[in-house]
Amino acid sequence: MSAVLKLTAETAQQLMTPDPVAIYEGASIREAAEQMTTCNFSAMPVIDDDRRVVGVVTHTDIVRHVPRGDRAPTLAYDAQSPSGDDDATEGTYSLVEAPRTRVRDIMTPKVFSVWPDTSVHDVVEEMVRRDVRRLFVVDDKGALVGVISAIDVLRAVAIDD
């Protein structure tokens, strides 16, 4: 007798990770890289001022862009002490920001999304049909409310003997 795999969720809302971390379209690529690294993400949704999903940025997008002109941040030395005394022997170091390329300039503007009430069957079918690792869940105004990754789908699988 073989085991049957069954999804325990019925809708996208039951599958999704709610209130996902997202990056604002006006953020620098440096900020995106730092946030993705901190969160251990390979991709993040990009949102506008109204929290509508306008694209997705990936590590690959960032890596592809850097060789085309953005230089790595450098360390600058300020001989003036934090107290303002120019004769002090101790100065401060700070990071000099690379040119401020924005996330909107390098993101992939294609967004694959579903509604919270989309059936699990349709979610899985959409992921397979589009060959994507994640779908964004949006409300009726297009605002981001969740994300469904392939791992979210796997977490909802139950084995029925």
> How do residues 75-98 score in pLDDT, each as one tens digit?
444 555 444 444 444 555 443 445
Whether 29 is in a domain gets the answer yes
Residue 134 placed within a domain? yes
- Kindly report, residue by residue over 11-46, the tens digit of the pLDDT: 999 999 999 999 999 999 889 989 999 999 889 999
Average pLDDT over residues 112-119: 97
State the pLDDT at residue 20.
94
Residue 148 has pLDDT above 80, yes or no: yes
Report if residue 32 sits inside a domain: yes
pTM, 2 dp: 0.74
Ramachandran angles phi, psi of 30, nearest 5°: -65, -45
Cβ neighbours for 25, distance < 8 A, ≥ 6 positions apart: 46, 47, 48, 54, 55, 102, 103, 104, 107
Task: Specify the CATH number for the domain of residue 126.
Answer: 3.10.580.10
Is 11 domain-assigned? yes
Separation CA 125–CA 103 (nearest Å): 30
79 domain residue, yes or no = no
Q: Assess whether pLDDT exceeds 60 at residue 137.
A: yes
> Structure tokens of 57?
């940025």
Q: Are 123 and 132 in contact (CB under 8 A)?
A: no
Whether 90 is covered by a domain: the verdict is: no
- What's residue 55's pLDDT? 95
Residue 148 domain-assigned (yes or no): yes
- Using an 8 Å Cβ cutoff, are 31 and 72 in contact? no
* Boundaries of domain holding 29: 4-69+102-160
Residue 76 lies in a domain: no
How many structural domains comprise the chain? 1
